């Protein structure tokens, strides 16, 4: 999975400071949250997806594979409002299902908001290293080192836990262990996996804690860092890129409206 998320080329977004980029993404989240124009949210989603395809550093087929689940996000977030929302202009009714013009546009609006949120988060994840992010948070946002290094250690230990799970599963298969079907089988599997994996995790956590303590990883914020996190002109370039994308989305929503309705209110 780590190799799958490794970009094939580096762009401005990869070279920007993770802390500054995180602030920009949070501003995008707020803008998306308070956007009531249906046309603008549609064009905003298109603009974010274009930036994702062009500036993420990943091939298009990989991006398509990652955004494929967003179709389910769009449908699941919009279908409830469309089928059961309130509205004055009734289009179709059958039992408890009641589709109106207002509920339809509200559902579409919520769906595009959801996929825009997901695309913005995916853009940040695909262009940011976890190690660089935590170093930037420690040096620029003053995050306590004990929390940052703990998160980094946990991220690095996740592949080891998965490897131990596979070893345990293969060992049980070699021994010919069989499980009952249904809920009873799930309970039996949990008993066979939980205790060994938990004990190994406790041992590993203890070794990591001893190693970090011996390396002087304490609560003091005054420490030196091997990786220096600095602000560069790439941060300004990313800010201009995102601002240009949003300005283009707003201009298109004014020049070429897709739905021609007023702001969607709930």
Single pTM value for the model: 0.79
From first to last of its 266 residues, the chain has per-residue pLDDT tens of 566 677 788 888 899 999 999 999 999 999 998 888 888 999 999 999 999 999 888 898 989 998 898 888 888 888 887 787 777 777 777 777 777 777 888 888 889 999 999 999 999 999 998 888 888 888 888 888 777 877 887 777 777 777 888 888 788 778 776 666 767 767 777 777 777 888 887 887 788 777 777 766 666 667 777 778 888 899 999 999 999 999 999 999 888 888 866 567 65
3-state secondary structure the chain: CCCCCCCCCCCHHHHCCHHHHHHHHHHHHHHHHCCCCHHHHHHHHHHHHHHHHHHCCCCHHHHHHHHCHHHHHHHHHHHHHHHHCCCCCEEEEECCEEEEHHHHHHHHHHHHHHHHHHHHHHHHHHCCCHHHHHHHHHHHCCCCHHHHHHHHHHHHHHHHHHHHHHHHHHHHHHCCCCCCCCHHHHHHHHHHHHHHHHHHHHHHHHHHHHHHHHCCCCCCCCCCCCCCCCCCHHHHHHHHHHHHHHHHHHHHHHHCCCCCCCCCCC
């Amino acid at each position: 999975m780590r190799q799958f998320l490794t970009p094939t080329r580096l762009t401005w977004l990869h070279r920007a400071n993770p802390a500054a980029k995180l602030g920009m993404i949070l501003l995008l989240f707020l803008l998306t949250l308070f956007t009531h124009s249906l046309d603008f949210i549609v064009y905003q989603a298109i603009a974010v997806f274009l930036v994702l395809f062009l500036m993420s550093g990943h091939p298009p087929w990989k991006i398509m594979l990652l955004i494929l689940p967003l179709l389910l996000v769009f449908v699941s977030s919009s279908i409830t409002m469309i089928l059961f929302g309130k509205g004055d202009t009734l289009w179709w009714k059958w039992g408890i299902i009641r589709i109106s013009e207002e509920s339809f546009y509200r559902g579409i609006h919520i769906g595009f908001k959801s996929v825009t949120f997901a695309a913005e988060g995916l853009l940040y994840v695909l262009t940011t290293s976890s190690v660089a992010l935590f170093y930037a948070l420690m040096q620029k946002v003053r995050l306590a080192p004990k929390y940052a290094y703990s998160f980094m250690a946990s991220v690095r230990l996740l592949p080891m836990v998965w490897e131990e799970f596979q070893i345990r599963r293969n060992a049980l298969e070699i021994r010919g262990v069989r499980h009952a079907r249904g809920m009873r089988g799930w309970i039996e599997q949990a008993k066979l996996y939980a205790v060994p994996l938990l004990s190994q995790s406790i041992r590993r956590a203890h070794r990591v804690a001893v190693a970090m303590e011996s390396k002087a990883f304490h609560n003091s914020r005054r420490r030196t860092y091997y990786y220096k996190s600095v602000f560069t002109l790439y941060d300004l370039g990313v800010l201009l890129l995102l601002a240009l994308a949003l300005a283009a989305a707003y201009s298109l929503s004014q020049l070429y409206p897709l739905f021609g309705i007023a702001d969607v209110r709930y």
